[in-house]
Amino acid sequence: MADVLIAGAGIVGLLSAFELTKRGRRVTVIDAPALYPPASWAGGGILSPLFAWRYADPMNRLTVDAPARYRRLVDELAGHAGLRGDDLNDSGLWVAVGEAERERALAWARLWEVPCQRADEHEHLSGAGRQPGLWFPEIGNIRNPRMLKALRSWLSRRGVRFRTAAVKRIEPRRRGASLWLSDGECLTAPAVLVSSGAWTAGLLAPLGVRLPLFPAKGEMLLYRLAPGRVPAIILTEQGYLIPRADGAVLVGSTLEEGEGSHYRSVTGRWALERKAARLLPELADQRPMAHWAGVRPGCARGWPYLGEVPGCSGLFAAAGHHRNGLVAAPASAEFLARLMCAETPSLPVGDYSLSSS
């Protein structure tokens, strides 16, 4: 019998299983049939929120040290499912930002001790014109599909059980909960974590929990260029380029709040191709190698809900990471594992409480 059930095998669910397994807990992860890639697979893997200084402190606490956290994870998981050191691309991040906001961003960087400097004309921003901007040398990107595969490999080797089924209903117990699955089975454990992305709201609503969550569809393109052609992440208000070490370049992204479909759209592709050409004119003559869509777990506030479900002892939830699930996942998972194992929390509990919705 499992000590912990985790509903959802996105990055937050898998890293929570990772943290709990290292604490000696027996974990079962319940993963819905993979008709479409989850948001954790579909994102670009930038190890910072977009325009991080625009976020409130609770999100900054979850994300500001993400590059260091992912470097430790890559070192620990290297070799699992083919994960390599250069799957974390220490590329740096250049951000186009106006003069007034640039001062605000520099003040934010000083406060949070994030290396940052003025960079008015980044040498790799071909075609974008002369723009004021900022250079963050320590912010890179992680190849998120490979990280997820490596986590699953590590967890499987350490006895974590994976069940392929959808969770249809949650029934709280005196301690923990029972999860009724789409195949008719019912699993029960004294500790349960619901981390089901955009679908978490539907599972919690029958328990009287109303969170301001919604699906948010995003589409991306992938181009193939010579390695190093785009050696840094380029972020502007119009879109971004994310380089991988092997020359793959991701272009993103669209955002449709309230849209829960995974269908790639013609309008989305056209919009992304225009973004690509503005950011790097040579892409106007290139054909994208791939086009995909994912559904983010949207949230009306600027940071996620993490903690115990009100009135349900032993039942926890992670919900509403929106566009920042990957970058916030390591700190979120550590925080949740500490709560679930009755350890001293690593962050202020009240900031993330489900009771504050």
pLDDT tens by residue, 152-173: 999 999 999 999 999 999 999 9
Query: What is the C-alpha to C-alpha distance for residues 129 and 125, in angstroms, rounded to an integer?
Result: 8
Residue type, 288: P
pLDDT of residue 76: 97
Residue type, 148: L
pLDDT tens by residue, 210-258: 999 999 999 999 999 999 999 899 999 999 999 999 999 999 999 999 8
> Tokens at residue 94, please?
């250049």
Last residue of a domain, one of 284, 299, 314: 299
Contact 16/9 with Cβ under 8 angstroms?
no
Clarify whether residues 196 and 154 are in a common domain: yes
Residue type, 77: L
Q: Which domain holds residue 169?
A: 4-41+147-212+301-356
Domain of residue 170, CATH code: 3.50.50.60
Clarify whether residues 120 and 161 are in a common domain: no
Domain count of the fold of the chain: 2
pLDDT tens by residue, 173-223: 999 999 999 999 999 999 999 999 988 999 999 999 999 999 999 999 999
Clarify whether residues 274 and 160 are in a common domain: no
Domain of residue 239, CATH code: 3.30.9.10
Classify residue 63: in a domain, yes or no: no
Share of the chain above pLDDT 70, in %: 96
Contact 163/2 with Cβ under 8 angstroms?
no
177-181 and 186-189 strand pairing: antiparallel
Classify residue 330: in a domain, yes or no: yes
Q: What are phi and psi of 216, to 5 degrees?
A: -140, 105
Helix/strand/coil for 144: helix
Q: What does the DSSP assignment read for 132-177? A: -EEEETT--EE-HHHHHHHHHHHHHHTT-EEEE--EEEEEE-SSSE
